[in-house]
Structure 1
């Protein structure tokens, strides 16, 4: 079968479409025929070698690429319950130290990393949910704010930020959204009460003009770090969504970093919300597997709304 792998770190040109053996599911595992694989920033930093340089993954001769998957079950290993061949599923591959990622025609995942795909969604739409939806969910869990609290979401028009706004509003949180001026209508439709353009020279001051005293917490999807921390009240909470982007815990603020983990039951809940129309699945574009390098060029150029998706 075909899969995209990396044998040496570098730019998008190091993404290699290779012929590899079809993986076999072991005990507690499921093989998925991949219909769609989301293209995420973590894929680019894996490919570039940034994660290896940071000590987050060991050197490997071959590295698989891709975390998000949507497709159909085509084989199950011993001891698997709840999944059967032909079932539409979504899943998350959360390990870096593997030879095969989701940029492939087939992939094997642990059964507890899978969930039923959202009813009514295309495979491309479904593939935008796992990594970004679970990151948003786990970030809000780390904030642990009660209903009625105020929360700043930076990068609110992006994939993680958009899900965070929607999930926060569903929890009864009052959201201040930081995004591009052209995205105000979008983030308000997602559930934001206040809007702050990312072009303001002083993020903290602008947020505090809307929420005097500062917000109770922040999810920093735009990786602003200390610039966003200033918008949080003393003894509030702050969650960064990428490794190394969490600022120093000033003013007694509780600072955490999301270290994403696959979670099938949580993903199933997100899938149900998407099926009900309470989570918005956004696809920027779809490309064939052999255009993975083009997808990475577009990802790194930025200004995408939704995720690029590869369709093996």
Structure 2
């Protein structure tokens, strides 16, 4: 089986020959991969900062979309031929940057017909991260004002879309080029990150926000003054500041959940939304794809193992 990954922790991304998946466990789903997301968290796996349960030589990648090829004896939600998407970690066999991917049924979701396969391949981690930040960590309520700092990226955009779906009044901070997309996603207002947006945000929130999310690396402390006393602040960038003024602060890492992912994907597709696609490449271009994603791609970067 062909894949793209590493031969040693910290090594370069290259094409690798991998063993085919063995006999499936009773709860496992074998997916013929048509699209696998590439993002900065994959570089954490490459460098050993995120332990996904397997060791090199290994394919990278923790999210994918494709067609079910085979299912274990206890699997009831899927059968061969179904189109699915998944975020799965710890990994059962190999990473998703490969021709085939194994995931437990509980990590797999049915792909909506209206969702493009390339979008589905990079949807899992951003969507689940957004949902887990907003629903579990922040407990966002309908009608609440929520500030999303760094809404221009893929995950930041999903934070805006999911918050809007929950009925929140979303104030998004992003580059000007992302304004139209974020408005489509449901943001009430989009503030240009290159402006004096803090003052505008305070006016929109009547002084401070009950809930704030930071998606800009190294910037969580900078948005703390915008959080109301006894409010909630979540970051997805691993840099939570010390609490003050009774503010509850959390650093959120994504957890696999196929049932939630299926609901999120269906809602996103039913609203007629999509994600911008920056690049679709083959396994041989895995290294450049990861470099593009880490550099801050304006859209999703996807590996299609079927491409030369």
User: Residue by residue, what CA displacement relative to the aligned partner does 1:42-62 show, whole Å, maximum 9, x if unpaired?
Assistant: 00222134x16xxx5689443
Alignment RMSD: 2.0
Matched, 1:286 2:280: yes
TM-score of the two chains, using structure 2 as the length reference: 0.91
Aligned to 1:27: 26
Aligned to 1:311: 304
Indicate how the Cα distance of structure 1 residues 128 and 58 shifts in structure 2: closer, same or farther if over 3 A, else same: closer
Matched, 1:68 2:63: yes
CA distance in 2, matches of 1:59, 1:28: 19
Q: Give the 3-state SS of the residue equivalent to 1:138 in structure 2.
A: helix
Q: Is 1:220–1:241's contact at 8 Å kept on the other side of the alignment?
A: yes
Q: Is 2:140–2:211's contact at 8 Å kept on the other side of the alignment?
A: yes
1:257 Cα deviation after fit: 1.8
Which of 14, 17, 27 in structure 2 is aligned with 1:16?
Answer: 14
1:275 Cα deviation after fit: 2.6
Indicate how the Cα distance of structure 1 residues 235 and 279 shifts in structure 2: closer, same or farther if over 3 A, else same: farther
Q: What are structure 1's unaligned runs of at least 5 residues?
A: none
Aligned to 1:169: 164
1:278 Cα deviation after fit: 4.8
Q: 1:1-312 to 2 correspondence within 5 Å?
A: 1-10=1-10, 14-24=12-22, 25-49=24-48, 51=49, 60-95=55-90, 100-141=94-135, 142-200=137-195, 204-223=198-217, 224-242=219-237, 244-302=238-296, 304-312=297-305
Q: Is 2:21–2:93's contact at 8 Å kept on the other side of the alignment?
A: no
1:137 Cα deviation after fit: 0.7
Q: Is 2:84–2:109's contact at 8 Å kept on the other side of the alignment?
A: yes
1:86 Cα deviation after fit: 0.9
CA distance in 2, matches of 1:94, 1:250: 34
1:99 Cα deviation after fit: 5.8
CA distance in 2, matches of 1:205, 1:230: 11
Q: Is 1:153–1:219's contact at 8 Å kept on the other side of the alignment?
A: yes
CA distance in 1, matches of 2:85, 2:93: 20
1:114 Cα deviation after fit: 0.3
CA distance in 2, matches of 1:175, 1:29: 38
CA distance in 1, matches of 2:80, 2:55: 32
User: Residue by residue, what CA displacement relative to the aligned partner does 1:204-229 show, whole Å, maximum 9, x if unpaired?
Assistant: 44421332221110121223211112
1:143 Cα deviation after fit: 0.7
CA distance in 2, matches of 1:7, 1:272: 37
Q: What are structure 2's unaligned runs of at least 5 residues?
A: none
1:168 Cα deviation after fit: 1.0
1:19 Cα deviation after fit: 1.3
Q: Give the 3-state SS of the residue equivalent to 2:245 in structure 1.
A: helix
